[in-house]
Amino acid sequence: MASKLIAVVAGVGPGTGAAVVRKFAATYPVVLLARTPDSFSQLADEINGNGGKALGIPTDVSDAKSVKSAFSKIESEFGKDFGLAAAIFNASGGFVRKPFLELTEEEFVSSWNVSAKGAFLFSQATLPYLLKATSSSKHPPTIIFTGATASIKGSAQMSSFATGKWALRSLSQSLAREFGPQGVHVSHAIIDGVIDIPRTKEWLKDAGPDAKISPEGIADSYWHLHTQPKTTFTWEIDIRPGVEKW
Amino acid sequence: MASKLIAVVAGVGPGTGAAVVRKFAATYPVVLLARTPDSFSQLADEINGNGGKALGIPTDVSDAKSVKSAFSKIESEFGKDFGLAAAIFNASGGFVRKPFLELTEEEFVSSWNVSAKGAFLFSQATLPYLLKATSSSKHPPTIIFTGATASIKGSAQMSSFATGKWALRSLSQSLAREFGPQGVHVSHAIIDGVIDIPRTKEWLKDAGPDAKISPEGIADSYWHLHTQPKTTFTWEIDIRPGVEKW
Amino acid sequence: MASKLIAVVAGVGPGTGAAVVRKFAATYPVVLLARTPDSFSQLADEINGNGGKALGIPTDVSDAKSVKSAFSKIESEFGKDFGLAAAIFNASGGFVRKPFLELTEEEFVSSWNVSAKGAFLFSQATLPYLLKATSSSKHPPTIIFTGATASIKGSAQMSSFATGKWALRSLSQSLAREFGPQGVHVSHAIIDGVIDIPRTKEWLKDAGPDAKISPEGIADSYWHLHTQPKTTFTWEIDIRPGVEKW
Amino acid sequence: MASKLIAVVAGVGPGTGAAVVRKFAATYPVVLLARTPDSFSQLADEINGNGGKALGIPTDVSDAKSVKSAFSKIESEFGKDFGLAAAIFNASGGFVRKPFLELTEEEFVSSWNVSAKGAFLFSQATLPYLLKATSSSKHPPTIIFTGATASIKGSAQMSSFATGKWALRSLSQSLAREFGPQGVHVSHAIIDGVIDIPRTKEWLKDAGPDAKISPEGIADSYWHLHTQPKTTFTWEIDIRPGVEKW
């Protein structure tokens, strides 16, 4: 039994990652993983300054050593008997859109490296701590994977991003079938639209004020998934603006 | 603009329907539709006795006149300028499992009559009131359709139930695409497992205490769908026990 | 054991139906079902004049009596011990595209009446003859249902057509699971595009010479499905022009 | 314009690969790719001895250099202006079924290396020759990818194999959307069952004589896909024994 419950979020950036961190930090100490401290330092300070607890660790989720090192640091900070109430995988490989015959092997592999191998490494690192938390966590320990439109559609010129996202979706389904019966809730979210972050400020300006997905809305849904009881697990939800064409 | 916001639930019975009614009755006056008063009388009394407001109306959702009559009664009770914050379609046609060549035309049609035609009539009756509530409802007005395993799988000897449920799913997707841009949230839930109600008490006894879906869990998820903002609509979720094979 | 093998095609018109009739008439006597003789008379004459055998019977597939009467006429013509090598269901209910709140109950029901109830009646009428042919037919007796884009997509304002087509797809899957093990091949084809027929002559003119689906191409694929052995059944294929966006 | 049309099959073994080679060798010279000559030598001899033309080249499709070298050898044999009438990708990464937490990174990656990266390299190598053949090939140049049950289902303990196969399916869909409009037919086949090969001789013995998929049946369907005209392309078919549960 885990004596202390925490949450970990991989792929912390200005959008979904940050909103999810803030949402879960209201209840749990949260570990923030991103490749560079720039992605999480300010957010960690904000949470620690507001009476929450946040620990940022620079991590490359596609690298087994880096993931292992991150979890050593988590153990150093929280002790060996912590458990994970929640693990959110929000990292994505490079988004490339170009004619297939111009795609380099490196570009093709880059998406999979994060979306699939990264998710594999993250899952192997977190599942033992999620399993350890099944008896002590109020809500079933939960691992959530962030997908995209490309998780269910292989568009022209998008094979790099889509192959990674389809693989991620498949991984999450396989894990749901294996770990659901063991008390861990495995979910996959299809985020089908443009997320409202600084980088997309100028996008979809003509589509009205509600054309972009609110990161806070995504975080609320992730939290809802986390609170579902063992008898009522959702594997997959889709999330899109009401005005979206799909 | 609607001056009064209410909720309506079609297909009130001892499981999902009752749990959804209780959940939404904490916020809205709720109208309960079922073919016979036996299905809703006790529940309506319970809610009215607890300081809530419930109105039961015997209704056959597969009959246009009956549906029209129900909404006349709602107008008599709540006035002509009410709006719907939520409309839940939880009715199902007869569940028949038998060799295809033994199925009667009446049996085949019975599922569709409720699941598809009933959902059509319910949607046409509720959507004008949902649209009227878009400017005054705190949460986007929401219509939710209850599906089943048979919504995405046509099993052997199950063509009657499955054709109705597939049609319902299709209807909900078509409505989501038409009314999402108008501010109404349309959702579909795939309830993939046995629901824990008195009738199923003896079922799945060997599968452990968490093998059946909690109606309250379903109601919590429906309420979450209702609270999603316009930028973050979920069209479809699946819900099943963690131990379920799928 | 059936002493004589024939094929029956429901929904004979100028496109897919006629091409399928011609293809199967090269091997089997073919029965042509359509609501009015106008739809099949010329085609039946053509086949009978070319050394083939065709029998047209005016039939409303959504009416049980009409379907029963058609099979009585088939028995009168071919004798009681005929078997069906192939049964093709190519009928469709009315295609209506309009705002959901303007749809009449009659319009909503019309699609289902043909696509789902019609397919149910056709399947119940043909399956006994298909089963009877399993021991004598060179190719496994085959029943094929014609679907459309709307079989897998519920577009805005298309709920009537889509609910019927989703129901049809579900029916075909359920039948495949029940009758495949009994030696009958059940298939469903998603025809995803505009079919090249006189009525669509002016459509897609700017999209090039190959933008519309060739009915003969569909018929060739249906014939291929028919020739698949018992170990190698295809339940579903999609068919679309190479230039189609999807 | 290509002056000579050939076919290439990657993943030649005793089942689907060999049957596909024999089928296409009746019309085209065929190049056989497999990691070791053991997999293709006897088959190549058989074809060359029967008046056909076969060239086996030991190739690791997951290695860019190996694939490049294979196509240099093809150019040496057939000249620089050959075109591909058909390219069949039938290779698969290691099939591993074990508890997720026991899976090594190497095992997880091994499936993707062949199923996704291998398919990427094969597609990049073959598409220029397929495009070159569009004006001279009688049938639209065709690239077919062999999938499996795991292409659409992420089963418990199957994440390695499934992630590779989902990625492959996604790649094929993306390529169909990009190259269909350019005249190349891209298809994906879901082979849903046990294939009847020497290695599976003892499997499913109680399920009857038709419980395993005939490789020749698969090859016939691949050939049918190849013969579909530009107006009538199938992206995906499923293939399973009639008795299969699914």
pLDDT in tens, A60-78: 999 999 999 999 999 999 9
B135 at A interface, C-beta within 8 A: no
The two three-digit tokens of residue A17, written as one number: 């990652």
How buried is A202 (Cβ within 10 angstroms: 0-12 exposed, 13-18 middle, 19+ buried)? exposed
The DSSP string of D217-243 is HHHHHHHHHHH--TTSB--EEEEB-TT
Whether A198 contacts chain B with CB within 8 A: no
Burial class (CB in 10 A: 0-12, 13-18, 19+), C241: buried
Q: What is the pLDDT of residue A1?
A: 61
Q: How many residues are listed for chain D in this entry?
A: 246
Average pLDDT value for chain D: 96
A124 vs D112: CB contact, 8 Å cut-off? Answer: no
Taking only the tens place, the pLDDT of each residue in B159-175 is 999 999 999 999 999 99
C164 inside 8 A of chain B by CB:
yes
Are C100 and B162 inside 8 Å of each other by CB?
no
pLDDT (mean) for D121-139: 97
Instruction: State the smallest CA–CA distance between residue B114 and chain C in angstroms.
Output: 12
Mean pLDDT, to the nearest integer, of A174-180? 98
Is D101 at the interface with chain A, CB within 8 A? yes
Which residues of A fall within a CB distance of 8 Å from B245? 177
C190 touches chain D (CB under 8 A): no
What is the distance between the alpha carbons of residues D84 and D123, in angstroms, rounded to a whole number?
12
What CA–CA distance (Å, rounded) separates B150 from B166? 7
Give me chain B's average pLDDT, please: 96
Q: Does C100 touch chain B (CB under 8 A)?
A: yes
Q: Chain-wide mean pLDDT for chain C?
A: 96
* Upper half-sphere CA count for residue B173 (Cβ side, 13 Å): 25
> Residue type for D184, please?
V
* pLDDT, tens only, D204-243: 988 888 999 999 999 999 999 999 999 999 999 999 999 9
Do A162 and D156 make contact, defined as CB atoms within 8 angstroms? no
The predicted pLDDT at position A43 comes to 98
C contact test, residue of D182, D206, D232 with most C CBs within 10 A: D232
- Which residue, D55, D68, D64, is CA-closest to D8? D55
Alpha helices in chain B (DSSP H): 16-25, 41-49, 64-78, 105-112, 119-132, 159-179, 215-227
Q: Which residues pair with A84 in a beta bridge?
A: A6
Closest partner CB to D170 (pick from A120, A123, A154): A154
Residue matched to tokens 């139930």: B161
Residues of C with CB below 8 A from B95's CB? none
Query: Is B242 within 8 Å of A177 when comparing Cβ atoms?
Result: no
Per-residue confidence (pLDDT) for residue B2, from 0 to 100 = 75
Give B95's pLDDT tier (boundaries 50, 70, 90).
confident
Q: Are A100 and A154 in contact (CB under 8 A)?
A: no
Residues present in chain B in total: 246
Look at residue B115 and tell me whether its pLDDT is greater than 70. Answer: yes
User: What sign results for the dihedral spanned by CA atoms A204, A210, A212, A215?
Assistant: positive
Q: Which of D127, D158, D167 sits opposite A174 (nearest CB)?
A: D158
What is the average per-residue pLDDT within B113-121?
A: 98
- Whether A232 sits inside 8 A of B218 (CB atoms) is yes
CA atoms of D172 and B19, how far apart (whole Å): 45
Which residue among B180, B213, B243 sits closest to A243, beta carbon to beta carbon?
B180
What confidence tens digit (pLDDT) does each residue in C153-211 have? Answer: 999 999 999 999 999 999 999 999 999 999 999 999 999 999 999 999 999 988 888 99
Percent of chain D scored above 90 by pLDDT? 94
DSSP secondary structure, A153-181, as one string: ---TT-HHHHHHHHHHHHHHHHHHHHHGG
- CB-based contact, C152 to chain B, within 8 Å: no
pLDDT digits 0-9 by tens, D66-86? 999 999 999 999 999 999 999
Tell me the backbone φ, ψ of residue B41, rounded to 5 degrees.
-60, -50
B68 contact C CB<8A: no
Rounded Cα–Cα distance for residues B173 and B166 (Å): 11
Closest residue in C to B181 (Cα–Cα): C156
Count CB atoms within 10 A of the CB of residue B150: 27
Shortest distance between the Cα of D64 and any Cα of chain A, in A, equals 8
Compute the distance between CA of residue C166 and CA of residue B112 in angstroms, rounded to an integer: 12
CA-to-CA distance for C28 and C77, rounded, in angstroms?
Answer: 14
| Chain A residue whose CA is closest to D62 | A105
Q: How confident is the model at residue A3 (pLDDT cuts 50, 70, 90)?
A: confident
Q: How confident is the model at residue C1 (pLDDT cuts 50, 70, 90)?
A: low
Candidate from A211, A232, A237 with C-beta closest to B234: A237
pLDDT at B94 over 90: no
Q: State the pLDDT confidence band at D1, using cuts at 50, 70 and 90.
A: low
Q: Which residues of D143-162 are buried (b: 16+ CB within 10 A; e: fewer)?
A: bbbbbbbbbbbbbbbbbbbb
8 A C-beta contact, residue A103 and residue A159: yes
Q: Give the distance from residue C47's alpha carbon to the nearest chain B alpha carbon, in angstroms.
A: 33
Residues in chain C: 246
- Least Cα separation, residue B98 to chain C (angstroms): 10
Q: Check if the beta carbon of residue A161 is closer than 8 Å to that of residue A96.
A: yes
Return d(Cα B73, Cα A179) in angstroms, integer: 49
Q: Where do the domains of chain A lie, and which CATH numbers do they carry?
A: 5-239 (3.40.50.720)
Contact at CB, A237 and B237, closer than 8 angstroms = yes
Chain D: closest CA distance from residue A45 (Å): 34
B39-79 tens-digit pLDDT: 999 999 999 999 999 999 999 999 999 999 999 999 999 99
Average pLDDT over residues A112-122: 97
Pairwise CB contact (< 8 Å): B217 & A238: no
**Section A103-132 average pLDDT:** 97
- Exposed e or buried b for every residue in A6-38, given b needs 16+ CB within 10 A? bbbbbbbbebbbbbbbbbbbebbbbbbbbbeee
